Every structure is written in C-alpha cells, then in structure tokens.
A and B are shown apart, each in its own frame.
Chain A
Amino acid sequence: MNFLLVRKAILDIKIQTLLRIGLAAILAVILFVTVGISWAYVQLQEMNRLHLLADQIVEETTALGMLSHDYLLYRENRPMTQWFAKYESLGHLLSKGFSRSALDYFSRMRLNYKALGEIFIRLTSLNQPLNSVQQELVIRLSGDILVKTQAMLSDALRLDRMSHYENEMTQTRIFRFVLFFMFLLLPIILFLYLMLSKRILSSLHRLRKGADRVGEGDLNHEIPIVAQDEFGELTDAFNHMTRHLRMITVSKTALESTEEALRQAKESAELANKAKSDFLATMSHEIRTPMSGLLGMLRLFERSSLTAEQKDQLVTMRQCGNALLLILENILDFSKIEAGKLTLVEQDFSPAAVIQQVTELLFSQAEGKGLVLRVEVDGTIPSLVRGDPLRLQQILINLIHNAIKFTHVGQIEIQAKREPPSKGADFSILFAVRDTGIGLRGEDIAKLFSPFSQVDASTTRRYGGSGLGLVIARRLAQKMGGDLQVESDFGHGSLFYVALPFKSIASDAALAPRVVYKPPSMSILLVEDESVNQMVSTGLLEYEGHRVQLAKDGFMALDLVRSGQTFDLILMDMHMPGMNGIETTRQIVDYLGPDHPPIIGLTADLRQENKLLCQQVGMGEVLAKPFEPEALNRLLEKKLDYAQFFND
C-alpha cells in the first residue's frame, strides 16, 4: 500500500481504503478457513473410509488364514472352495480406490495377495501321496502362506492405525488451522485499529485538545494542520473561528469599557436627576409650608371686617398665592413624572362628579374674566368607573385653567362623551375643552408640550405661568393610556381633547346630586408644631364652627388622648420634631383600638409612598397643606359617612 497516497487522500477515501483492505483480509481469512475446513472434511471422510476398509481387509485376511490352516490339515474341498471365495472377496476389497497416503500399503498387500494366490494354487496342485521333496515343499509353502497372510494382516493393521492416526492428525490440523487464522485476524483488526487511530482518532484528539485550550481561554492557540483532508478543513475552520473569537474578544473588551463609561455616566445622570427631584420636592415642601401659612392667614384676614377695597386687594393676594402654589405643585408633579415615580391609583369614582368639582373650583376664576363656563356630560357615561380621579382632575384643571388664561372673551365649553372601547379597557371617555381664546399657529402647536416653554417670550410676559401645565396634562394622559391632542384656529380659539380608557364596575350606583356639604360642629384635635400653621388651621376650623384642641407635638397629642378626652376628628401633621405624625398615629390607634376617631394626615409631601405609609398606620386620608376649607369639608363629608356606616 502506498501510504503516501493514502496520507494525501481525503478522509472519506482513507476510511474506505482501510475498510476495503480490512474487509478483503477478513474475507480472505474466511475463505482460507472455509477451504481448509472443507479440505480437512474430505480428508476425514477419506480416513474414515480407509479405516473401514482396513477393518474389512483384516477380517477377510484373518478368515483366509483360518481357511488355509483348515485346508492344510485335511486337504479337503470345502475349505478350498471357501478359501477361493474369500480370496476373491479380499481381491475385491483391495481393488477399491485408495488415497495416496495408503498407496504403499495397498501395493504391498496386492503383491502379497497375488503371491498368496500362487502359493495356494501350488499347494492344491500337489497330489497325494507326496514324496519327501514335496513334503518339504508343502511345509515351506505353508510357512509362506502364513508369512504372506501375516504380512497382509500387518499392512491392514498398519493401514487401520495410520487412518486412525491421520484422522487425529487431521483434527489437530483443523484446530491449528482455525487457530492460526483466528490469530491472523488479530493483527488485521489491530492494523485497522491502528490505522483508524492514526488517521482519525489522533486527529480528533488533536482537535479536542485544541478546543479545550480555546475553551479555557487561550485564544492564541492554533491547532496544527497535519493532513489535507476533512480533518484538515475542520482544523482550518476551527482556527479561523478562534481568530474570529480573538477579534470579537478585543472588540468586546473595548465595548465593555465604553459600556462601563456609559453606565457610570447613566448612574451619574440618574444621581443628578434624583438629586434634582429631591431638591425640587424639598424645595416645594419648604416653599409650601410658608405658602400654607400665608394663604391661611389671608383667608382668615379675608373673613375679618374690611373695606370692599381691602377685600379686593386680599382676594388678589390670595389668587396670586394660589397661582404660586399651583406652579409649585406643577413643578413637583413634573419632577415626579420625570423621575418615573408617578404612580396611578385605582379606585371607583364618578367622572361627572370630578368634572363638577373642577368646574366649581374654577368657576369663580372664569366668572371673574367674564367668561361663560359651559359643561356638557354624555348621559351614557357610567355613573361609576374605575381609575385615578385625582389625576383626571389634575388634567382637567390644567386644561380649563389654561383655557381661562388664554381666553378674553366668549366661553369655555367642557364636554365629556363616551367612546368605543380601546385595548385593555371597557370603554373610553373623551374629555374636550374648547375655548374662544387667542388660538395657536400651526408651528406653535409643536412647542406646546415642551416643558418650561410657552409659545413665545411675550406670552410668558403677558400670561405668566411655568409652562408646565399642558406638559403635565399630556404626560398624565399618556400614563393613563390616552394622549392629549390639540386643534387650534389662530385668533379664534383652541380645542384640547383626550380619550382616556376606563374599566366599568359591577355596581353602578348613581351618585346623589351634589350638594354643598356643611359638616356639623365637631371636636377636632389639631396636632401641629408650626406656629403659623397652628394659627391658620385653628382659625379656619373655628370659622367653620368647630371646636379645636391644639397639640404642639406628638407627645402632647398622646397625653390628651390618654387623659380621656374624646374627639370627633384628629388632624395630624406628618413632620414634627421628637415624634412624627406616623408614630403618634400608630400609638393613638394602639391605645384607642378600632374605635379611634378618623385621623387625617397633613403634609406638603403628597407622594404616593407617603400616602401609603399614612394609610398603613391608620390614617384614613391625607390632606395637602395648606388645606382649603372646602377640601377639608369634602374629606370630612366622606369620612363622616364612613364613620356613620361603621358605627351602624
């Protein structure tokens, strides 16, 4: 075999060549074994035949010897006739075919057979009486018969032994022959294994070792190509893959550096953003607190005996304060939206009631500008829906407030209409606010929803505001699953509308027509550490006819409760030194148990987590500071209804 050619051949040919060689060798061995065994079988048959023949010759020769003896004693016809019959029978046996190995035996036996016949004929030819020479001749011929008979017997016995011996030898040869070829198969199989091992397994081993090294991270390792076959191609492809992986790793390292830089930048930005949000929240809280006091004091001052001109001046001051408060709240909301911290609540409420509250809130503002505020609510809108009423209220306040701001004459029309259901909701309500104001140019509409921007600088100068109202309204609408749209005709007015999805609720109890609630005179425990707020809140509550017991901190509030005094309501400031409102509320609830009076939290920080915390310790509601008396009344109305229901 030309190994060089095999080495250069492709793997397929290598395997085929090896398999053919192996198959041919195995077939040759099988052929040799088959032929050998067949030959041995023929030999065995021949030996068996010889064995049988030798037995028969021994038998016939023995009989011939006995008959010779019989005849020589009495020289009668009967043994003579039998002798010739047996002689003929023996001649028939000797004339049968015989193998080469028995040639000598048969040759000698035939010679002796012939001599035996001649001697016996000579004996029978001697007539009685015999002279002395004839007598000696008979003796000699008798001896010769004995010798020839014995010679034939010897040859027949030797033939018998030889056939037996040959038989054993043949069996031994068969065994050795088979054993030899079986052993011959071993080197063939070994050869095939070694060749396969050298050509295939070693290549596989090399590949596996290379793959292990690459797998362990050694990307600089290249597997040597030792043959131009499939393994060579596979090795080349593997090396190519390793080189590619090396390049990818280099790129990945660079990418990871960039990613790390970006991540750090993002973290910095997030930290900065959080700092901004925290700063805004803190600032708004810090500004709210004095604003709360200022507005409260203005309200109290308004209720005192003043001239009409003084009252007008006070109203203007309060409106300016409210506008400032609105700006602060907008900034606070915007910062929450930007930080992704704005969460919606889901509760049952009446959309019509929300619209009514908003219009009531802004009615005086519109009326002050001589504008007509028209409300139109579709009768098919369910009385109760599930959603976030406060955020809906905020959207509507922003839209209506905006309409009032930019409308000098004419009317503001507020519409609510049921729309077909959208994804994930049972139905939508289209809220639209149409005004007859200054309107917008097409190119200005795009700027409308950018934060801290108005159509132009002159607008800011003329109309004021932070420019956050519409941005917040749109973001809230998007958060609620809708989108705020605008259509405008410059110089004639604008239309803002938004379709918000809601879920209907099973119970659709109609809300009672809204009446202005005037709570009865109550005994209220006001827990407030800030002296201005103490004055404002006490003044407002007493103006509404309530009896107010002031506690300057949480400890004092606890002492009053434990002293056995009873209150219809507790107003609890959240931020107090020593013991804050949360802890004070928890201890009051622990002390009084489930019969504790309604507790309303007071805070400038109305973030959702604060509200949740308040509710967890037992506060039914949270009121923003500075609170409007109307807002407190609405809350009191709700809480008293609950209390009555609970007591029943």
Chain B
Amino acid sequence: MASVSTFYDLYKIIFRKDAGFRVPSDLPNRRVATTQGSSLHYFVHNFLIDNQIKPETVDMLFLSEAQMFPLPLGAGQRDAFVAREPYISEAQARFPGELDFFSDPTLAANTLNLITLDSTLNQHWVHIAKILQAFLRTELFLKTNPQEVLQMLKGSEGMESDSLESRWSRSDHQVTLSQELILNMENIARWSIRNGLIDRQTIPNFVDLLSIDALESLKPEAVSVIH
C-alpha cells in the first residue's frame, strides 16, 4: 500500500571490545550470530561483500531474533552478533563501555511498509483510504511539529531519551510508493535465490503486489512507481 518510514544506519555488528575485532577483515573465522534470511542477514552479507570478505569465510551462527539475547558474547559460542535498534541501545545500556560495533550507513537502511491482504483491500477500500489519509496527515504533522513529536516520543515507554534524538535524525517519514522500493525488493529477492534461502528461482513482479490507486488518489506526487 505504501512505504511510511525509512530508517538509516539501523544495523550494526556488535562485539565486545576485548573480542579482538579492530577492522572488518578480523571477522573471517569468527562466529557471528544473525537470523537467517532476515534483513540482519542481508545486511551482514552486504557488509562482508563491501569489505571484500567472502561470506563463507565467516562462521555464521543462525539464531532466531529471540535467541540472540541474552548475551554474554564470547565464550566460544558467538564472537559478535548482528543487531538493530532498539536492541543495540539496550545492549549498550546493559554493558556500558564494554561493546563496540562495525557499521555501514549506506547499507543499513530499512523501509517500513504498510501491507495488507488483497481481500481486505477489496472489501475495505474506503477504510484503507482513511488509513492512508491518516498516515499522510501524520507525515505532515511530523514535518511541521518535529519538536513536539520528540517530546511525545520521550514520554513513551521504552524510548531512551539519550539515543532518541540521534536515531530520530537518522529516519525519514514519508508516505510513498517509489520505484526504488521495487528495486530494493528485487535485490533482496535475488540475494535470497542466490543463497538458496528460498525455493523459487525467479523473482516476482513486485509491481503487481502494489496497490497504487489508493495513495495516488490521495497524493499523486507520492507515487513514483512506473506503472
């Protein structure tokens, strides 16, 4: 239906300072925990490639996201793990001054998309339009009242005020349906096929999965998908 937010620099490879990691090339032959086939996995794969490290040289330990915690790191089970906010901030708070990380802001962008079923869309088109309208109004509110929004977020449970502002500054909240969304999804699909993470061998036509009309009727300039 629409992309509503993009978060940059979301993923990091966390390790103890005393784990012997100084540069990314220290990662081969070490055990790095992540969730297979997830955006975390996609991030660490691209991170390794970007640093010209063969992914298979790193001992990948695939865990569910729930299994990633609790720490401790090390002790031969895992030397590092791939995490995203807000778990990174939580870990840092738990082990103050003990953790360090590798990151690449250009790789760690994550888009939040609004998804529904075809049947829901067909049956509740008016409600869907109202939801989109609400997101558009929220977008406008976030744009025009950033300080007020921050104050509201600071009052919410689980939001650490120290990191909130820096995290907020690395996010973009815009209701769109863009061509790059298609491209990103296709890249991920290709990566998944290449690495045998899924059964199929061809990528789907993601344009067919988009419901363009609703957003286009509300805000035509928000749609840049070629259609």
Contact = CB atoms under 8 A, between A and B. Distances in A.
Nearest to B177: A154
Contacts of A286: none
A44 to B, nearest CB: 17
Contact of B178 (A104, A134, A150, A160): A150
Given A133-B49, A136-B49, A154 B184 contact: no
A118 B107 CA distance: 12
Interface in B1-57: 46, 49-50, 52-54
Contacts of B174: 104, 108
Given A158-B176, A158-B222, A147 B50 contact: no
B187 interface: yes
Nearest to A139: B190
Contacts of B178: 150-151, 154
B143 interface: yes
A194 B27 CA distance: 88
Bin the interface of chain B by size: 20 to 34
A140 B195 CA distance: 14
Nearest to A103: B143
Contacts of B187: 140, 143, 147
Contacts of B222: 158
Contact of A153 (B49, B54, B106, B224): B224
B221 A104 contact: no
B172 interface: yes
Interface in A159-212: 159-162, 164-165
A137 interface: yes
Contacts of B172: 104, 108
Contact of A140 (B46, B180, B221): B46
B201 interface: no
B67 interface: no
B179 A153 contact: yes
A485 B209 CA distance: 144
B183 A158 contact: no
Contacts of A150: 178-180, 183
A40 interface: no
Contacts of B221: 157-162, 164-165
B72 interface: no
B183 A137 contact: no
Contacts of A147: 180, 183-184, 187
Contacts of B86: none
Bin the interface of chain A by size: 20 to 34
Contacts of A164: 221
Nearest to B225: A154
Given A104-B143, A147-B180, A154-B179, A165 B53 contact: no
A146 B220 contact: no
- Name A's interface SS: helix
A115 interface: yes
- Name B's interface SS: helix
A588 B208 CA distance: 143
A132 interface: yes
Nearest to A141: B50
A151 to B, nearest CB: 4
B173 to A, nearest CB: 9
Residue among B49, B143, B176 facing the most chain A CB atoms (10 A cut-off): B49
A11 B83 CA distance: 84
Nearest to B173: A104
Nearest to A157: B224
A498 B64 CA distance: 162
Interface string B194-227: 0000000000000000000000000011101000
Given A150-B178, A158-B176, A165 B183 contact: no
A161 B53 contact: no
Contacts of A144: 106
A165 B180 contact: no
Interface string A601-636: 000000000000000000000000000000000000
Interface string B80-120: 00000000000000000000000000100000000000000
A119 B224 CA distance: 23
Contacts of A108: 172, 174
Contacts of A148: 180
Interface of A: 104, 108, 115, 118-119, 132-134, 136-137, 140, 143-144, 146-148, 150-151, 153-155, 157-162, 164-165
Given A133-B53, A147-B187, 18 more contacts: A104-B143, A108-B174, A115-B106, A133-B49, A136-B49, A140-B46, A140-B49, A144-B106, A147-B180, A150-B183, A151-B180, A153-B179, A153-B224, A158-B221, A158-B224, A162-B221, A165-B220, A165-B221
Give the 4 A-B CB pairs with smallest separation, nearest first.
A161-B221, A154-B224, A151-B180, A154-B178
